[in-house]
Chain A
Amino acid sequence: MPHLHRWLTAAALALAIPAAGQDKSAMDEIMKYRQMLEEGNPAELMELKGEELWTMPRGPKSTTLERCDLGLGPGKLDGAYAQLPRYFADTAKVQDAESRLVTCMVVLQGLTLEQASAGWYKPNSDIEALVTYVAAQSKGYKIDLQASHAKEAEMYAIGEEIFWRRSGPLDFSCATCHSLDDRRIRLQDLPNFQNPASAQSSMINWPAYRVSQSAVWTMERRLIDCIRQMRWPEPDFLSEAIVSLQVYLQRNANGGRMQGPGIKR
């Protein structure tokens, strides 16, 4: 079914471009998509790299991440990503996959915060590989953010505020592009995060291999780039603004069944 969906997306893109005045780069993209469908998703390589990092003794303490608690107990990964971000009592914070993995690298492996998040923005970074591996273990699980803890509910409300917050030289907020049904930027379909079905269809595929970037992007990476394109300054990696936005988006997508690492434009 996911393959059929992807094929339909590629076909729809192809149909949207008549023979005359073809946009070369758009056609290149479609060719890349087709190739991808035949060869499988490159995100699977990142998943393997992530698994290696998960099980490899690292850091001053020379320990693996296998006792890392992503919310369901130490080392329990099945379905954990589908319930993130969530509140963690040991850090007294609501954390997403990235920030929780960094916490584990610091606490379990003895790395510094800087070491644990080094190169997060680079293609195929360690943190992206780890998130991809963790997310893959939620394939088939439904997104389920209850936000029952007061801190989680607060982060949802903050994420909602930030989603609608307009500023900058183009007056943009997330809502400018993502609060209406069936809209596009150029040929790119835009999810409407006010609409649960649309929010689900987007969120079930993250992290995703992005054809235009030739790299797997996690949700943090994606959001930081959205904000860059809004012409705002860059938000900090692991920042509360990014975590709160994820609580908002992911909770709005509750019930969507995670498809594991996806492929996006």
Chain B
Amino acid sequence: MRTCILIAATFSAVAAPAFADEATRQRAEEVVRQSFSSATPQEWAERMQQDEAQALCSLYRNSPPPEVAEKIVSAQHRAMRYPDNGKLMGDWKEGEKLAAIGTGGHIGKLQPDPPGRRKGGNCYACHLIAPQEVAAGTIGPSLTAYGRLRGNSPETVKYTYEKIYNAQAYLACSLMPRFGHNGWLTPKEIADAVAFLLDPASPVNK
């Protein structure tokens, strides 16, 4: 975290200014630390502590200057992992299920998920995907006919896998969760989501 602040300070001198001064940022972190008193040390480490990309994207309000963006993209790319069997395209039917599941991972006392509840990709929260599902969000672009428009060459399969695994390996500070990088979905689950988008038999491409 210290390096990250140093880097941010360096860049802010030469590129787009940071949006808040150091004192305000420190005071805000102090307020955050005091305001989540029920978080366990583990919850704090896993859910409140920012990694470098999170800290930089917060600092630059999701619009980092080019040098920072480049640094984020290359660091995220280096951390890419793939399924053990090397198959980047799995079962589209499993991917379809995953796209609709929005549960999992809620903690706290008010309305926690039961332990072990399946974490979904909840893709429909933000994307239109299969045209039959009209209750689709609009934070991300429409993915309808994704495979029909792009084909499923090895390059397209690899790009799609990597984009879902870590959207910021392509676009720094993308709003999309880094599903694989953060361990929210497994590489195998991501391969299933890839198939949902690219398999010619998937309803996405009908």
Interface residues of A (CB under 8 A from B): 16-18, 21, 23, 26, 121, 154, 157-158, 160-162, 164-173, 175-177, 179-180, 182-188, 190, 224-225, 228-229, 231-236, 239-242, 244
Q: Are B32 and A186 in contact (CB under 8 A)?
A: no
Q: Are B36 and A171 in contact (CB under 8 A)?
A: no
Partner pick for A233 among B25, B38, B133, CB 8 A cutoff: B38
Q: Are B107 and A166 in contact (CB under 8 A)?
A: no
Partner pick for B36 among A16, A121, A234, CB 8 A cutoff: A234
Whole-angstrom distance between the Cβ of B51 and the nearest chain A Cβ: 8
CA of A164 to CA of B50 in the docked complex: distance in angstroms?
A: 12
Which of B9-17, B86-94, B134-142, B144-152 has 4 or more CB atoms under 8 Å from chain A? Answer: B134-142
Given A170-B184, A185-B126, A185-B139, the answer on whether A235 and B36 have CB atoms closer than 8 Å is: yes
Residues of the A chain whose Cβ atoms lie less than 8 Å from the Cβ of B154: none
| Bitwise interface map of B from 120 to 139 toward A, beta carbon under 8 Å scored 1, else 0 | 00001110000011111111
Q: Quick one: which of B31, B39, B105, B109 has the most chain A CB within 10 A? A: B31
Q: Are A172 and B138 in contact (CB under 8 A)?
A: no
Whole-angstrom distance between the Cβ of B37 and the nearest chain A Cβ: 5
The chain B residue sitting closest to A189, CB to CB, is B138
Residues of the A chain whose Cβ atoms lie less than 8 Å from the Cβ of B3: none
Given A186-B124, A236-B37, the answer on whether A167 and B47 have CB atoms closer than 8 Å is: yes
Q: Are B36 and A236 in contact (CB under 8 A)?
A: yes
The chain B residue sitting closest to A159, CB to CB, is B28
B57 at interface, CB cutoff 8 A: yes
Residues of the B chain whose Cβ atoms lie less than 8 Å from the Cβ of A169: 46-47, 105, 177, 182-184
Given A167-B48, A239-B35, the answer on whether A233 and B107 have CB atoms closer than 8 Å is: yes
Main secondary structure of the interface of B (DSSP, over half): loop
Given A158-B27, A186-B124, the answer on whether A233 and B108 have CB atoms closer than 8 Å is: yes
Whole-angstrom distance between the Cβ of A10 and the nearest chain B Cβ: 16
CA of A216 to CA of B49 in the docked complex: distance in angstroms?
A: 33
Residues of the A chain whose Cβ atoms lie less than 8 Å from the Cβ of B31: 158, 162, 240-241, 244
Known: A154-B27, A228-B111. 17 other contacts (CB 8 A): A21-B132, A23-B134, A121-B110, A158-B27, A161-B20, A161-B24, A162-B28, A164-B61, A168-B46, A169-B47, A170-B105, A171-B182, A185-B137, A186-B124, A236-B35, A241-B35, A244-B28
Partner pick for B58 among A16, A164, A180, CB 8 A cutoff: A164
Residues of the B chain whose Cβ atoms lie less than 8 Å from the Cβ of A164: 19, 58, 61-62
Q: Are A234 and B182 in contact (CB under 8 A)?
A: no
Residues of the B chain whose Cβ atoms lie less than 8 Å from the Cβ of A170: 105, 177, 182, 184
Partner pick for A231 among B47, B61, B137, CB 8 A cutoff: B47
The chain A residue sitting closest to B173, CB to CB, is A166
The chain B residue sitting closest to A194, CB to CB, is B61
Residues of the A chain whose Cβ atoms lie less than 8 Å from the Cβ of B44: 233
CA of A23 to CA of B133 in the docked complex: distance in angstroms?
A: 9
Q: Are A184 and B54 in contact (CB under 8 A)?
A: no
The chain B residue sitting closest to A242, CB to CB, is B35
Residues of the B chain whose Cβ atoms lie less than 8 Å from the Cβ of A18: 134
Given A228-B111, A233-B108, the answer on whether A186 and B137 have CB atoms closer than 8 Å is: yes
B175 at interface, CB cutoff 8 A: yes
| Bitwise interface map of B from 58 to 70 toward A, beta carbon under 8 Å scored 1, else 0 | 1001100000000
Partner pick for B109 among A177, A185, A234, A241, CB 8 A cutoff: A234
Q: Are A186 and B62 in contact (CB under 8 A)?
A: no
Q: Are A232 and B48 in contact (CB under 8 A)?
A: yes
Residues of the A chain whose Cβ atoms lie less than 8 Å from the Cβ of B27: 154, 158
CA of A188 to CA of B38 in the docked complex: distance in angstroms?
A: 30
Q: Are A186 and B125 in contact (CB under 8 A)?
A: yes
22 contacts between A and B (CB under 8 A): A23-B134, A162-B32, A165-B50, A167-B47, A168-B47, A169-B46, A169-B184, A171-B53, A171-B57, A173-B58, A175-B61, A186-B135, A190-B139, A225-B111, A228-B107, A229-B106, A231-B47, A231-B107, A233-B108, A236-B36, A239-B37, A241-B35
